[in-house]
Structure 1
């Protein structure tokens, strides 16, 4: 009987429990990449911020939080309407349109049906938004007012195009789609026929598929000589899946061999070591064709020794296939494995081969059938 790891439920699960958009990191856990994909790296002694911001003002605004973008969007329109309304009002005041005596009754105004600043503000808004002129419209009496209308129309179109592009790029950011791609909160280390593996599970929550997903990983750990942290690449291979589509949950495995940074890691090193595994998934959404990137990280406290993810097998109901989402968070105990490192297990394997208890061809066939190749 499978020993399935079950978590005690103290409350009803919500959407927040399933998505990685919220950072579940403990304050005492220092990591380069948070669970929600945000990075914690800040640069020091960089050039002046003005030299960086102004040449790339568009990209700098896109990188702001959505609240700030909405504030900039509203402020730009309101400020432009207000400034041009002030210009129109000064021109009308200089022309004498605001005077209410008999000497100016028959004089054609610069802008019809405008008697105060509030109505001039309405005229400015109608001009820039091209809503259309009703009773308020500019006349040929004031060439300066006509010039202001032309300038406001050009600048208004430019402002609308820039701000619309900012909002569009903000909605199409790769990390927006990441909220619908779920990466397991833990990674598992297990043994199969003398070989050690690290595996993570990834699930696409949206109906639209991620085309050609590419998953890569690397590890950041302290060097044994005490010279500081280094980045070491890790190879991740999809288990049993070669399709470019993302129809069902995928398990990606890293084989711990002599090229792996975890070759000498035993159980204590995995559970207490100072390292961080960073996983990145890239792909394209099939509907919008937009770029998708999801990333997360695993610390030593998020490594399950001697366990594997339970396969999420779809069940057919009528003409549809259904997946039980509860299986995504479950792991099962793998075959009994020692607390030794992969290098020790490899030496034991070579000893078994040398004794003739198992042949190399049998071992290769077992590995090939295990990975579905």
Structure 2
């Protein structure tokens, strides 16, 4: 039921108006109140509508516009100085609740990084069992260091073995003897053995240093280095390729709005935030999830510091599966299953929670799964705001203006909780139902008191007839009467 119907409640239903305590604010900066306002108090047993007239604007034609503007700026400056002299104090919300200046420690940063560190892990050997993932998860500085050291160590290791073979066979003692057949030609020291190791593992083959057929040990070592070198190449190049093409870099172009908003959508309070993709390549199979991170104490007294509660963003209806071609506004309907069912605007100013939103999908270009994350603290949830439109129709295409991606504007929104709003709508509907029934009873009594017109059929003359009875024929007649805009029933002669 539309909220505008609240202003049509008869005077028989009354409710004391909630006293909204406002902090010291500048009267010049406040917008004028609308002519018709409604509010639902904490007690859901009553409903009230209050008519507040717009305060008359002072008319002072003798003062110029510049003088009025200067006076208003002087009032604002005096108020700021007075507030600074009083020591500031806690920031006041709309309902006078003091907002704590202590910044909540985020569970997930705005850029998606999880603010969690693991300590006192005794089973560190588990990292070595998955060495590939361990190397990929390292930062770039460590990854480059491991990449360089993997090749340098293998080259030095096999170079030392080639030098040891030449030294043990006596090749270094017969450098000038042309009749001597060494294991590797032109290896006259450690540097030359190291260069031959590099040429062998990288398959460069300059042709100056070559192995001979008079060294079976060298042949076996050549095969071993070739096989091991191929394994090192595959492992390290694979790690670097995966690290370069990590899908979390794709998440840098998936953006979330700076603030979440709560406002009415189809006469229901909804928590909304906006998500967009800056690239023209799409995220295939994108879906959205949301979690509420809040401290909780169970009935048994157990304290859970970071309790996670699911926030439905359309899982039952399939609205969580997105076609993310243009920016979308993700909506969470605050119903009886929502954790915000009992939260009003005044309670929002006192709450301490965090909303974590997660977007998952497959990158169209690489086929790898990507995940983007962000979070909203309680002070980043704006009550009574709505996102500004950012799409327009141009010649042959839709133009998206990302300059308005984070912009919101205020809309008329009740300050009560979704529970109180639902109860108020239900009571209004029930009141209208009983009001119609009472009018029908009054018309029935009025027609019964009228004198009979003399007709022998026992019906009341001159007006619609009423019959008391719940037979199918009667119900059909009444339904036809309602379609014609009138309510008709029949009344038996005995009841007349």
TM-score by length of 1: 0.80
| Closer, same or farther: CA 53–258 of 1 in aligned 2, 3 Å | same
| Closer, same or farther: CA 101–191 of 1 in aligned 2, 3 Å | closer
Q: Tell whether 2:149 aligns with 1:75.
A: yes
Which SS does the other structure have where 2:329 is aligned?
strand
Partner residue in 2 for 1:40:
115
Partner residue in 1 for 2:403:
326
Partner residue in 2 for 1:262:
340
Give the counterpart of 1:196 among 264, 269, 288.
269
Partner residue in 2 for 1:245:
323
Give the counterpart of 1:143 among 216, 220, 231.
216
Which structure 2 segments of 5+ residues have no match? 1-30, 32-100, 434-496
Mapped to 1, the partners of 2:288 and 2:321 lie a distance apart of: 13
Q: Is the 8 A contact 2:288 2:320 kept in 1?
A: no
Moved more, 141-150 or 268-277: 268-277
Q: Is the 8 A contact 1:271 1:303 kept in 2?
A: no
Question: Cα offset for 1:352?
Answer: 2.5
Partner residue in 2 for 1:346:
422
Partner residue in 2 for 1:19:
none
User: Structure 1, residues 178-214: CA drift from partner, whole Å, max 9, x if none?
Assistant: 1111111211111235421111111111121011210
Q: Tell whether 2:201 aligns with 1:128.
A: yes
Mapped to 2, the partners of 1:181 and 1:348 lie a distance apart of: 40
Q: Is the 8 A contact 2:175 2:188 kept in 1?
A: no
Mapped to 1, the partners of 2:274 and 2:393 lie a distance apart of: 19
Higher relative contact order (Cα pairs below 8 Å, separated by 6+ residues): 1
Give the counterpart of 1:337 among 413, 419, 431.
413
Mapped to 2, the partners of 1:320 and 1:345 lie a distance apart of: 41
Question: Cα offset for 1:28?
Answer: 4.1
Question: Cα offset for 1:120?
Answer: 2.1
Give the counterpart of 1:55 among 120, 123, 129.
129
Question: Cα offset for 1:170?
Answer: 2.2
Q: Is the 8 A contact 2:281 2:364 kept in 1?
A: yes
| Closer, same or farther: CA 27–111 of 1 in aligned 2, 3 Å | farther
Question: Cα offset for 1:244?
Answer: 5.5
Question: Cα offset for 1:44?
Answer: 5.4
Q: Tell whether 2:186 aligns with 1:117.
A: no
Larger Rg, first or second structure (1 or 2): 2
User: Structure 1, residues 277-307: CA drift from partner, whole Å, max 9, x if none?
Assistant: 1111111122211111111111112111211
Mapped to 2, the partners of 1:137 and 1:270 lie a distance apart of: 79
Q: Is the 8 A contact 2:384 2:413 kept in 1?
A: yes
| Closer, same or farther: CA 77–195 of 1 in aligned 2, 3 Å | same
Partner residue in 2 for 1:181:
254
Mapped to 2, the partners of 1:27 and 1:34 lie a distance apart of: 17
1:227-306, aligned counterparts within 5 Å?
A: 227-229=303-305, 230-237=307-314, 245-306=323-384
| Closer, same or farther: CA 119–27 of 1 in aligned 2, 3 Å | farther
User: Structure 1, residues 290-339: CA drift from partner, whole Å, max 9, x if none?
Assistant: 1111111111121112111122214424x5543211011211222x2233
Moved more, 104-113 or 77-86: 104-113
Moved more, 105-114 or 271-280: 105-114
Q: Tell whether 2:84 aligns with 1:84.
A: no
| Closer, same or farther: CA 325–116 of 1 in aligned 2, 3 Å | same
Q: Is the 8 A contact 1:194 1:346 kept in 2?
A: no
Moved more, 234-243 or 214-223: 234-243
Question: Cα offset for 1:64?
Answer: 1.6
Q: Is the 8 A contact 2:288 2:322 kept in 1?
A: no
Give the counterpart of 2:285 among 212, 215, 233.
212
Q: Is the 8 A contact 2:287 2:322 kept in 1?
A: no
TM-score by length of 2: 0.61
Which structure 1 segments of 5+ residues have no match? 4-25, 358-373
Aligned residues: 329
Which SS does the other structure have where 2:343 is aligned?
coil
Alpha-carbon RMSD: 2.7
Moved more, 89-98 or 289-298: 89-98
Question: Cα offset for 1:166?
Answer: 1.7
Give the counterpart of 1:155 among 209, 228, 238.
228
Mapped to 2, the partners of 1:217 and 1:76 lie a distance apart of: 42
Partner residue in 1 for 2:241:
168
Mapped to 2, the partners of 1:27 and 1:113 lie a distance apart of: 73
Question: Cα offset for 1:149?
Answer: 1.2
